[in-house]
Structure 1
Amino acid sequence: MERADTAGAAVLVAHGSPSDPVTQEAAVQALARAVAAELPGVWAVRAATLAADGALERVFDGLASGACVFPLFMSDGWFVGTALPRRLQALGRGGARILTPLGMLPAFHDLCAELVLAAIAAEGWRPDDTAVILAAHGSRRGEVPARRTREAAEAIASRAGVRSVQPGFVEQAPFLADTLRAAPPQALCLPFFAADAGHVTHDLPAAVAASGFRGPVLPAAGTAPGVVRIVARALCEIPRSDGS
């Protein structure tokens, strides 16, 4: 049950992995605990994945009606814009405030630029000589995820001062393997994913192997330690019902 003196309540929601729901469910719950520890005061921060059977239904038990939802997604595409609101409505939580997804936050773009620059420095390269391939999901359902990825690519390029940031997608053109194949010799790959799940552990290595790409491939951006601070900050910035 939620404590009466909590400063706020939030549910972190991720896609999860239908083929490995337990691992991804544990990962988002660990993130929720880390975010709660970062927040001032006492917060009720919980987490669930859409893929784990019954997880979203259980996570709201005992939470106040004002609990908000933080999407651990890279865009406001079909899952955030349609599937998640439908699921919440079915739970009687249709009025829950859904915050801006992780991948669309300027602070997350800052973090991505930091990850890129750290990798470039480790290679002894210059940013303005380095290309970045932004490995992303894309979507067969619509253009929103690709558009958000291109917006993120522009933001990261501006912040990092690199030669270019070019998206490559798992589900649509330009496909990731083709983008990696066309990369210049001095290039690295940043996976623009929220979790270290199937697209990162299977689709990305397959695309790297098929393309012959030999540059550094970084961990998924959404798994970086700095994400805890970004989520906590986003929750702290939610206007409270008392106007404070």
Structure 2
Amino acid sequence: MATAQGQPPRDAVIVAHGAPAEPAPQELVLKALAAATAPHLPQGWRVRGATMAADGALECALAGLSNPLIYPFFMAEGFFTGTLLPRRLAEAGITGAVQTAPFGVDPALPGLMARVALEAALASGITPADSALLVAAHGSKVSRTSADSTHAMVAALGPLTGFGRILAGFVEEAPFLADQARALGRGICLPFFALEAGHVVGDIPEAMAEAGFDGPILPPIGQHPDVPALIAAALIRAAAGHPAA
């Protein structure tokens, strides 16, 4: 049976890193994300979600699927998407799988983040031109890809939002969140994260409180209700041979 796009149905797996110390909650989140993505895909597609941290979860999600598309629910290219995930796929007997670009570099994401930030400004009585947007991100002490993806997002958001300033602040490298928040003045903090866990529930609010920031701290962009449709669109593009269109 062909899909509405004239293509045969495909299998897909949405993969996140997960939390090794407590894998179950994020494993449930990935399964729910896959279930929410499925209605946005053509009839006949199968989509599953798994983390790499939960023992055997990725292998279980891959079982019985035919040449699945792999969607990395990560914010940047790096060791996990470029080395560890392909290695795990190979160990599971999956060869030649099409792996899409990660969530954080999806071409539709700047538009979604801009809309979220502007809606939050309106709801909070904040005039974008007179305020700032702080993009809170992970960063890394050993790799530039996380920061590079964040700075690219900041650049993309400029012409889309009209905020007086748009800054990046990181958990694990300079410029650190608290330092950036002290220079923020009136504004909004939008976490550039896929999942609401770890840094998002602990480090970000702690850093913002340390800086005396009293503006809105939004949920991580990966938890927005429009994300399943964004993922589905990326999977459809990848199936058509245009993963970054």
Whether TM-score is above 0.5 comes out as yes
Shift in Å at residue 68 of structure 1?
1.0
**For residue 16 of structure 1, what is the aligned residue in structure 2?**
18
More displaced 10-residue stretch of structure 1: 124-133 or 217-226: 124-133
Partner letter of residue 206 of structure 1? E
Please name the residue that 1:49 is paired with: 51
Q: Deviations over 1:188-231 (max 9, x none)?
A: 10000001011111111221122111111001111000101100
Aligned mates of 2:90, 2:188 — CA distance in 1: 42
Corresponding position: 1:123 with 2:130: no
User: What residue in structure 2 maps to residue 38 of structure 1?
Assistant: 40
**Preserved CA contact (<8 Å) 1:6 1:44:** no
Separation in 2, partners of 1:122, 1:212: 21
DSSP 3-state at the match of 2:134: strand
Shift of 1:240: 4.4
Matched residues in 2 for 1:29 and 1:139: separation? 27
CA distance in 1, matches of 2:180, 2:87: 35
* TM-score with structure 1 setting the length: 0.92
205-214 or 132-141: which moved more? 205-214
In the TM superposition, what is the alpha-carbon distance from 1:157 to its structure 2 partner? 2.0
Q: How many residues in Structure 1 have an aligned counterpart in Structure 2?
A: 235
For 1:134 and 1:211, the matched residues in 2 are separated by 15
TM-score of the two chains, using structure 2 as the length reference: 0.91
- Equivalent-residue separation in structure 2 for 1:166 and 1:77 (angstroms): 22
Q: Percent identity?
A: 45
In the alignment, the residues of structure 1 paired with residue 83 and residue 26 of structure 2 have an alpha-carbon distance, to the nearest angstrom, of 22
Gaps of 5+ in 1: none
Q: In 2, are the aligned partners of 1:104 and 1:148 still within 8 Å (CA)? A: yes
Partner of 1:189: 189
Point out where structure 2 has 5 or more consecutive residues left out of the alignment.
1-6
Q: Distance in 2 between matches of 1:46 and 1:236?
A: 15
DSSP-derived class of the 2:181 partner: helix
Question: How far apart, CA to CA, are the structure 1 residues paired with 2:239 and 2:219?
Answer: 33
* Residues 139 and 146 in structure 1, CA contact (< 8 A), matched pair in contact too: yes
Give 1:204's aligned residue: 204
* Pairwise CA distance, 1:168: 0.7
| Structure-2 residue corresponding to 1:163 | 164
Cα displacement (A) at 1:6? 6.7
- Deviation at residue 18 of structure 1 after TM alignment: 2.1
Does the aligned pair in 1 maintain the 2:98–2:238 contact within 8 Å?
no
CA deviation after TM superposition for structure 1 residue 235, in Å? 1.1
Residue-by-residue CA offset, 1:175-200 (whole Å, 9 max, x unaligned): 1111112212x111000000101111
Distance across 2 between alignment mates of 1:85 and 1:94: 9
Match of 1:25 among 27, 44, 65: 27
Cα displacement (A) at 1:94: 3.9
